[in-house]
Amino acid sequence: MAEFGPSSLASYLIVAGILFAAGVLAIATRRNAIGVLIGLELMFNAAALQFTAYGRFRAGAPDPQGQIAAVFVVVAAAAEAAVALALLFAVYRTSKDVDLEATRELRS
């Protein structure tokens, strides 16, 4: 039986896969824009976890490039969240709702 725990790559990849699947499920099932943003953040965090895990369990020696890539993913996720929340505030001011189906059209 394969080793499973904090010292195996498989455990990190399974957790990242579960996070990614939860993010996809949140995006597919939520009508609320905040729920969709949370799903997107879960998907970004899954990608960052995979980068870090692959860097940590590299064949020769641990490689810091995985952690560097994860930092870039976190920075991109923060920028995406800031822009998306600013857009959500603008939509809420005009339509008084953050339901994605109800705010398909913006009217001034």
What is the pLDDT, as a whole number, of residue 69? 87
Q: How far apart are CA 65 and CA 25, in angstroms?
A: 30
Q: How far apart are CA 25 and CA 72, in angstroms?
A: 24
Tokens of 55: 């860097």
Q: What is the CATH code for 9-95? A: 1.10.287.3510
Long-range pairs of 28-32 with CB within 8 A, sequence gap ≥ 24? 31/99, 31/100, 31/101, 32/98, 32/99, 32/100
CA 25 to chain CA mean position, Å: 12
Neighbours of 48 (CB within 10 A): 22
Q: How far apart are CA 19 and CA 47, in angstroms?
A: 9
Q: How far is the CA of 69 from the CAs of 7, 31, 44, 48, in angstroms?
A: 21, 31, 12, 7
- Going residue by residue through the chain, which has 108 residues, state the pLDDT in tens, using 9 for 90 and above: 457 777 888 899 999 999 999 999 999 998 787 888 899 999 999 999 998 998 888 877 777 888 888 889 999 989 988 998 888 787 777 777 666 666 666 555
Return the residue matching tokens 């729920």. 35
Q: What is the pTM of this model?
A: 0.77
